[in-house]
Structure formats: C-alpha cells, structure tokens
C-alpha cells in the first residue's frame, strides 16, 4: 500500500486544494500542516493576541475547506490562504489602535535608519540578534509589520503580497520601503540601548 | 554628504530606490546607475550593505520564528474535524 502521507508531501498545493474540494480530508489536513505556521504568524501580527490568532487560524482553514471548490487558481494557494487569514484576523482584532501612519519625509526615515550615519553597521549587528529583531518588529505598527512579514519573512513576491493586502503594486513598494526603514530605525534605537526599545525611532526625530 | 551626485544619482535618490534595488525590481540602466553610485559613495554603500543584511536576517525568521506548536496543531485539527463532520 503506498504511503499516503509521503504522497501528500509531494503533491502541489493546487492538487491538495482540488482533492479537498472533492472531499479528501487527508489532503485537507496536509494543506493545514503545510501552511498553518505562516497563517498563524500573520494572524498573530494582525490580532496581537494569541487566542484571537488561533481563532483566526481555525476560521481560515474552515473557510478553505468550505470554499476549496471555488479556488480559481489565478493566485497561488498560499496567496489565497493568507488573504483569507488576513481578513479573518482583522475581523477578530480586539485591539484597534490608531492605524494612520505618519507620512514622514523619506529623508527623515532614512536618517533615523542610519543612512549617512558614521555607524550603519549597528543596524546589521542588531538585526543578527534574533531577540532584538523580534522586539524591533513588535515596535512597528501592524500595517508596517504585516508588509515586512509577508515580503521579507514569508518571502511572497511583490504582486502576491499586494494581493493579500488588497493594494496596488506601487503602493506595496512604497509601504514596504518605508516599513523597512522604520524597522531599521527601531533596530538602531534598540542597539543604542534606548529604554523604549526603538519606540521613539518613529516619532522623536523630525 | 547626502547631496552628493555620484554616477548620475544623488544620495537621496539612491535611498529612494534602495528597496527596489535589493528586490531586483529596477530596470538595467537604473541598476547600473545605482551600482555606479554605490561604488563611488562609501556612505551609501555601507548603508546599503547593512540594509541588505537586515533583510537576510528577516528571511531567517521564517525558519526560526514562531511555529504552530504541536498543541496548537492538535487543537486545530480536532476542531476542524468536528466542524467539517457536522451535518
């Protein structure tokens, strides 16, 4: 008898969705196992709450199970899944902070990130320490954090990330660049021993 | 320093293009200009290197970052089985 688990590991995401649509529960569970970590990471960023993130995780895959037949295949399965996850997570958000990002001049963001400084190496050194990197990511507002996570951590291509976020590719590039510079600023502030761990990097310098 | 014109681009223009440069999204002639600037501008070159290192460190987060733990996965699969077998 062929090892079904091994066979599922080799199946493409699209095959697994098609098999799920045909009622194959094993294929569905393979899809869950393959993508649960990425869904949970995104849901955690959006909800900022582990319980809500787990609810979003469950809702995402329930939606996938129920709507597998309607997957049209013009997006990648991962893009489709993360779009569902983001919508579910936003519905479950309990912490609705101010989402409007300040549109600081790019030069200000660059200077805070270490552009033109005597010691830009502080940025790379801080990024190498996982704990510092995770803390700096947490300093970012969710709207910045999610674009960095989708593009730079999950490795989605620009058009895929734009689709998940529901924005155009030009807007995606601009948001991503600014978010990366804010992250760099938070890392530098963190490495400089700022007791607010970089929080001030967003607002203090003008 | 941040107003230097090297290789046909000013430092600020390189700052504007940096993400698109590291993501490989610029056309060939713009890439040549950016690289010409970086070769002649140690400040932008150093910042660009360190900015790139930050992105490499971020990518590693997908390997080391939070995973769906065994308990989360067990709960998830149990809930999904229950929900998808209900009439």
Local structure of residue A204 (DSSP, 8 states): S
Which of B16, B24, B57 should we substitute to test contact with A (largest number of A Cβ atoms within 10 Å)?
Answer: B57
Search chain B and give the residue with CA nearest A35: B68
User: How far apart (Å, rounded) are the C-alpha atoms in residues B21 and B23?
Assistant: 5
CB pairs under 8 A between A and B: 127
User: How far apart (Å, rounded) are the C-alpha atoms in residues B32 and B15?
Assistant: 15
CB B51 within 8 A of CB B18: yes
User: How far apart (Å, rounded) are the C-alpha atoms in residues B84 and B87?
Assistant: 8
What is the CATH topology of the domain spanning A12-92?
Rna Polymerase Sigma Factor; Chain: A (1.10.1740)
Comparison of pLDDT for A34 and B5, the residue scoring more:
A34
The tens place of each residue's pLDDT in chain A, 206 residues long, gives 445 555 555 578 999 999 999 999 999 999 999 999 999 989 988 888 888 999 999 999 999 999 999 988 778 899 999 999 999 999 988 655 545 566 788 999 999 999 988 888 888 888 888 888 988 998 898 889 999 999 999 999 999 999 999 999 999 999 999 999 999 999 998 877 644 444 444 444 33
Q: Taken in order B4, B6, B8, B14, is the CA torsion positive or negative? A: negative
Residue B64 has which token pair? 């080391």
Residue A126 has which token pair? 């801080």
CATH pick for A106-202 out of 1.10.3720.10, 3.40.50.10420, 2.40.128.20, 1.10.10.10: 1.10.10.10
CB-CB neighbors (< 8 A) of A58 in chain B:
76, 79-80, 83
ipTM for the predicted complex comes to: 0.85
Q: Which residues pair with B6 in a beta bridge?
A: B9
Where along chain A do its domains lie?
Answer: 12-92, 106-202
């Amino acid at each position: 008898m062929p090892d079904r688990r091994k066979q599922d590991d080799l199946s493409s995401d699209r095959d697994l969705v098609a098999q799920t649509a045909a009622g194959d529960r094993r294929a569905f569970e393979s899809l869950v196992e393959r993508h649960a970590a990425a869904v949970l990471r995104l849901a955690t960023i959006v909800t900022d709450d582990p319980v809500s993130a787990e609810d979003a995780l469950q809702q995402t895959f329930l939606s996938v199970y129920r709507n597998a037949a309607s997957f049209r295949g013009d997006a990648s399965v991962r893009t489709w899944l993360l779009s569902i996850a983001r919508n579910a997570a936003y519905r479950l958000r309990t912490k609705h902070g101010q989402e409007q990002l300040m549109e600081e001049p790019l030069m200000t963001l660059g200077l805070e990130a270490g552009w033109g400084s005597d010691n830009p190496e502080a940025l790379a050194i801080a990024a190498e320490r996982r704990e510092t990197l995770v803390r700096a990511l947490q300093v970012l507002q969710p709207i910045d954090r999610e674009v960095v996570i989708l593009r730079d951590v999950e490795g989605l291509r620009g058009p895929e990330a734009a689709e998940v976020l529901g924005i155009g590719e030009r807007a995606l590039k601009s948001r991503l660049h600014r978010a990366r510079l804010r992250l760099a600023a938070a890392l530098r502030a963190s490495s400089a021993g700022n007791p607010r761990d970089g929080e001030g990097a967003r607002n203090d310098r003008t | 320093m941040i107003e230097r014109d090297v290789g046909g681009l000013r430092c600020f223009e390189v700052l504007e293009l940096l993400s698109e440069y590291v993501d490989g999204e610029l056309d060939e002639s713009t890439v040549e200009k950016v690289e010409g600037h970086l070769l002649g501008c140690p400040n932008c070159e150093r910042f660009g290197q360190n900015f790139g290192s930050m992105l490499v460190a971020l990518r590693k987060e997908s390997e080391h970052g939070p995973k769906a733990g065994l308990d989360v996965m067990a709960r998830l699969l149990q809930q999904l089985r229950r929900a998808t077998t209900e009439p």
